[in-house]
A and B are shown apart, each in its own frame.
Chain A
Amino acid sequence: MRKYLYIYKSEIMSNLQYVSNILFGFIGYFILLFVFFNLWKYLYSDPNELIHGYSMEQTIWYVIVTEILWGTVGGRKLCQKISNDVKGGNIAYNMNKPYDYVGYSLFNHLGIATIKGIIYIILGFLLGILFLRMVPSHTIITILLVLLSSIMATIISCFLIITIGLFSFLIEDSNPLYWVYSKLILILGTLFPIEFFPKIVQPILTYSPIYAVAYGPAKLFVNFSWDVCLQVFITQMIYITIGYILCKFIYNRGVKKLNVNGG
């Protein structure tokens, strides 16, 4: 484990110089939240009204948290990196090092995700307080659980995106797959809580990775309950296991067929 923590630490040290770039990325986040803040303000004609059990503040905080999670993962870069490693043969250079490529990719990406996460959390909360002038009430324990659930959500996202990237072993370009994945997460997980969707779709979403990577932590933040907390953690643990097994399965099959030319 020490080696993976070193990979994580080295990536953090490497990326500390690019904090300004990450801050620029925050402009898009600000615009999106501003649009949604105004949209929901318009839809909630009465400030005390509840839509599908959510107050206006809760709905907006939901979007703030899911966008923090999505921005923290920065999946496009991760997918491209894995895909380029596979297609360009870089993966071969990792294979003769005594670490697991999936673990290396995960901890490597968690390094940059940590820096992004801290910045997104600070700026997201500042925006939330600025727009809404309130924060959902929490104890230290519940806020730590939300944080833990968010970390697990990030790990699951990474596994799913690494899996998509590793599909480059089987298909020429995995970017279209990532595009579909990111749009599904955006529409079904980031912008609206699961309760906003038709009843027939809700069970599907509850068992889908969307519950583990977006809905779960956001729901815990906007309306914490121990029942939901337990359900979220169980789901997340199942998805972490599934995600890792999927990555390893595709990786192990892929490297056997590896064909690296030249060099």
Chain B
Amino acid sequence: MKAVRNIDFSVEKGEMVAFIGPNGAGKSTTIKMMTGILYPTKGSINVLGFDPTKNRRKLAYEIGTVFGQKEQLWTHLTPYDNFKFFGAIYDIPDYAVEKKIEELKELFELGDFINIPVRNLSLGQRIRCEIVASLIHEPKILFLDEPTIGLDPVVKENIRSLIKRMNKEYKTTVFLTSHDVGDIEKLCSRVIIINNGQVVLDDSMENLKYHYLNKKIVEAKMREKVNLEDEDGITILKDKGYNLKIEVDTEKRTVADALKLLNPDNIIDINISNVPLEDIISSIYRKGDKS
């Protein structure tokens, strides 16, 4: 069984790319091939000038990895000791590690807990330390696999802004895998969607939104019942008599057309919103499944 087929893409220095897809799409396989863990049966990979299958060890010095579901820190040691450990692993002299720890401590706001054993940290604090540990050797590419999994919304937001800051500060290329649309939307300027082992979309976040956000959701609370039926460009999603939810395809009809059908005098309350990015991505996944 082939996990991936004919995948072809390149990433620019400093880019933040979301590499997403449903479970079993081939994301992990691709990342593992890019980091030299798995060997492709055909084709070629070039990461920072290295062939990962031949130069895995050399490439390891240039990349960092954070797996939200896999701890790489020593839980009985403090973050500080862990960072020193990672410094040694990457053959960085002591004075340089100290300097880097100081710098990253400020950037990732670790001052309050850098000397507390990792096992006593909250998940959010631990993830921050995981990211810092993966940056000690100043990698050119950072692979982030579900970095915000299990975190509450406030902590997620905090982690995202820290990653953004890190990208701005060090120009580190970020290759992100996540099922969290918030991560993708807020961090990445480009999205690569993979399904059934093939790239089904490779576009900028802006284009994705422009092309796919051509549908508006209109939710209205009515004074009197309205009998509407699907028309070209207007789809009834929910009709509970006084409460209506319709989807307007703005390439075919305007929102104003839809409002006219409802009769503005009959509307008590109304909400017009974009189709959530999550739904857009799901529909792309489904298209990929059909093809």
Q: Which residues of A contact B (CB under 8 A)?
A: 2-3, 5-7, 10, 13-15, 17, 90, 92-93, 95-99, 256, 258, 260-263
Q: How far is the CA of A92 from the CA of B52 in the complex (A)?
A: 14
Contact flag A6-B37 (CB < 8 Å), given A97-B60, A98-B57, A263-B145: no
Identify the B interface with A (CB < 8 A).
23-24, 28, 32, 35-39, 56-57, 59-61, 63, 65, 67, 69-70, 72, 74-77, 81, 84-85, 88-91, 145
Contact of A95 among B28, B56, B61, B69 (CB under 8 A): B56
Q: What residues of chain A lie closer than 8 Å to B72, measured between beta carbons?
A: 93
Are A17 and B76 closer than 8 Å at their CB atoms?
yes
7 A-B pairs within 8 Å (CB atoms) are namely: A6-B88, A7-B85, A96-B36, A98-B91, A260-B28, A262-B28, A263-B67
Are A99 and B89 touching (Cβ within 8 A)?
A: yes
Q: Chain A contacts of B85 at CB under 8 A?
A: 6-7, 10
Can you list the 9 inter-chain pairs with the closest CB atoms, starting with the nearest?
Answer: A6-B88, A14-B76, A98-B60, A96-B35, A92-B37, A95-B37, A3-B89, A3-B88, A10-B85
Are A260 and B32 touching (Cβ within 8 A)?
yes
Residues of A contacting B90 in the complex (Cβ-Cβ under 8 angstroms): 3, 98
- In whole Å, how far is A256's beta carbon from the nearest beta carbon of chain B? 6
Q: Are A96 and B91 in contact (CB under 8 A)?
A: no
> B52: nearest residue on chain A (CB-CB)?
A96
A10 to B88, CA, bound (A): 11
A10 → B minimal CB distance (Å): 5
Our pick among A17, A90, A258 for the contact of B38 (Cβ within 8 Å) is A258
Contact A13 B76 (CB under 8 A): yes
Nearest Cβ on chain B to A49's Cβ, whole angstroms:
51
The closest CB in chain B to the CB of A255 belongs to B37
Docked CA distance A7–B89 (Å): 8
What chain A residues lie within 8 Å of B88 (beta carbons)? Answer: 2-3, 5-6
B89 and A97 form a contact (CB under 8 A): yes
Q: A7-B85, A258-B37, A261-B28 are in contact. List 7 more A-B contacts (CB 8 A).
A: A2-B91, A7-B89, A93-B67, A96-B59, A98-B57, A98-B89, A263-B28
Nearest Cβ in chain B — how far from A260, in angstroms?
6
Residues of chain A within 8 A (CB-CB) of B59 are 96
- Least Cβ–Cβ distance between A187 and chain B, in angstroms: 36
Min Cβ gap A88→B in Å is 10
Known interface pairs A96-B36, A260-B37. Does A14 touch B57 (Cβ–Cβ under 8 Å)? no
What residues of B have a CB within 8 angstroms of the CB of A256 in the complex?
39
Contact partners of B84 in chain A: CB under 8 A? 6
Nearest neighbor of A17 in chain B, beta-carbon distance: B76
State whether A14 and B89 are in contact (beta carbons under 8 Å apart), knowing that A92-B32, A93-B67, A263-B67 are contacts in the complex. Answer: no
Chain A nearest Cβ from B140, distance in angstroms: 14
A261 CA / B88 CA spacing, docked (Å): 30
Q: Which residue of A lies closest to B39 (CB)?
A: A256
Shortest C-beta distance, B91 to chain A (Å), equals 7
Cα distance A260–B38 in the bound complex, in angstroms: 8
Complex CA gap A15/B76 in Å reads: 8
Q: Is the CB of A98 within 8 A of B37?
A: no
In chain B, what residue has the closest Cβ to A13?
Answer: B77
Report the Cα distance A10→B86, complex, angstroms: 11
Bound: A209/B60 CA distance, A: 35
Most B CB within 10 A of own CB, among A5, A7, A99, A263: A263
Select the residue from B23, B36, B84, B85 with max chain A CB neighbours within 10 A. Answer: B85
Asked if A6 and B77 sit within 8 Å, CB to CB, the answer is no
Q: Distance (Å) between the CB of A181 and the closest chain B CB?
A: 29
Contacts of A2 in B (CB 8 A): 88, 91
Q: Which residues of B contact A99 (CB under 8 A)?
A: 89
Residues of A within 8 A of B70 (CB): 90, 93, 263
Task: Give which listed residue, B56, B61, B81, B89, contacts A13 with CB less than 8 A.
Answer: B81
On whether A95 and B36 interact (CB within 8 A), knowing A6-B89, A263-B28, A263-B145, the answer reads yes
> How far is the CB of A175 from the nearest CB of chain B, in Å?
24
Specify which chain A residues have a CB less than 8 angstroms from the CB of B28 in the assembled complex. Answer: 260-263
Q: How far is the CA of A129 from the CA of B195 in the complex (A)?
A: 69
Closest residue of chain B to A99 (Cβ to Cβ) is: B89
Residues in chain A near residue B89, CB distance under 8 A? 3, 6-7, 97-99
Chain A residues within 8 Å of B74, by CB: 10, 14
Whether the Cβ atoms of A263 and B69 lie closer than 8 Å is yes
Q: Which A residues are in CB contact (< 8 Å) with B60? A: 96-98
Residue of A nearest to B177 (CB): A263
Q: Is A10 within 8 A of B145, CB to CB?
A: no
Asked if B63 contacts A96 (CB within 8 A), the reply is: yes
Question: How far apart are the CA atoms of A2 and B91 in the complex, in Å?
Answer: 8
A256 to B56, CA, bound (A): 12
Complex CA distance for A260 and B36, rounded to whole angstroms: 12
